[in-house]
Amino acid sequence: MKRLVSVRKSLIVLERPATRKGLISRPTAAVFPCARSSGAKIFSANLFRSCIGLTILLLASACAAPLIQHRPVQAEATWFVRLDSVEPSERPPVQYQHPAHWSEQDLFAILSKLFLEQRVGMMDEPKPVREVFSVEELQQILPGMRAAFQQALPHEWVAFTIIKHNDTEDRTVTSGGLFQAADRLHIVVANHRTLLQKNSKELVKIQNNPLHSVNGSGGVLGIEPRRFVLTTKANWSGGHQASASELILDHGAFLFSLQRTGSATAPVPVRGSHVFATGPEPDAARSGSSNSVQVESDQIILRLREEIERLKQQLADQASEVDRLKRREIRSTPTP
């Protein structure tokens, strides 16, 4: 019996041969993490190099000024109005509503009311707005602007530059552009009476592209009444150095409002070669003299309303500035 039991044990041992755990070749746990860590580092390094290269390419393309094509309309020694566009290879898909038909009176009614307003903080003293154009400057460029709008192709915009000579070798430059899109007039001011030296490279850049801004426009472009301004924004189409100020105006409603209130004005004729609509004929003016007091009072009321709207906007801006300062103070206050 004992011999039979020993035989059975021998058979069990033969069926399941003893094997030491150490004899099975298994990779150590430390091998794979090291391989994965090394691969991740290589992948991260390659990704970082690719991102750096892409960033350099994007910056180079963004900093490169577009190649501008010119079509002269009118030009003098100290100013010009022309049609600009980018080369076909760099041309964006935007199509303006050009050609467009404008009267010099309507252009004057809009451009003579443009101003630049500097944004100030809540505790700063308010700064007076600055008119963009003088009457003399408008008399120079308005005929050219009207002609440029009539000749413009859908991919061209109206560009202008006004250069004034000082007693010294310096120059003051005002430049920008206009175009019409989606039944709205876009006005861009890149430089406003910017002081430059006679042989300045920046002056050459402005003459090549009036949308190139040297130090910014000097403020945010605005017009009264403000309710006809759809938006104002920074315009970087002239390069990366500084931004121009762009205003988008509902010019149809703006001009209709001026005609309804009788507050539209027109410039004095220039050198007798351009006739501007300056109002009713003398007979009609005499026959309507009884209504002059009413018209003047309406204009005063309109100006008061516009001033109220401006003050409301300033209060709204100050309230938003107070809220911003409160939020920043709350974020900076340490919690107990």
Q: What is the pLDDT along the chain (336 residues), one digit of tens a residue?
A: 445 445 455 544 444 444 444 444 444 444 444 444 555 555 555 555 655 554 444 444 445 566 899 999 999 999 999 999 998 876 677 789 999 999 999 999 999 999 999 876 666 667 788 999 999 999 999 999 999 999 999 999 999 999 998 777 789 999 999 999 999 999 999 999 999 988 899 999 999 999 999 999 989 999 999 999 999 999 999 988 899 999 999 999 999 999 887 765 544 444 444 444 444 444 444 444 444 445 455 556 656 666 676 677 677 777 777 777 777 777 666 665
Burial class for 208, CB neighbours closer than 10 Å (0-12, 13-18, 19+): middle
In a domain, 191, yes or no: yes
The tokens describing 199, both together, are 């042989």
Contacting residues for 98 by C-beta, under 8 A, at least 6 apart: 149, 152, 153, 154, 156, 179, 180
In a domain, 329, yes or no: no
In a domain, 152, yes or no: yes
In a domain, 146, yes or no: yes
In a domain, 50, yes or no: no
Q: Which helix (H) or strand (E) holds 240?
A: none
The tokens describing 256, both together, are 């209709």
How many separate domains does the chain show?
1
Question: Strands (DSSP E) along the chain, which ranges?
Answer: 68-75, 79-86, 114-117, 130-131, 157-165, 170-181, 184-197, 220-223, 229-235, 244-249
Find out whether 211 and 175 touch, Cβ atoms under 8 Å. yes
What is the C-alpha separation between 47 and 43, in angstroms, rounded? 6
Find out whether 230 and 247 touch, Cβ atoms under 8 Å. no
pTM score: 0.63
The SS3 assignment for 44 reads: helix
Full domain range(s) for residue 113: 68-276+290-312
In a domain, 116, yes or no: yes
In a domain, 307, yes or no: yes
Contacting residues for 36 by C-beta, under 8 A, at least 6 apart: none
The tokens describing 258, both together, are 């001026």
Contacting residues for 217 by C-beta, under 8 A, at least 6 apart: 116, 176, 189, 190, 191, 192, 243, 244, 245
In a domain, 4, yes or no: no
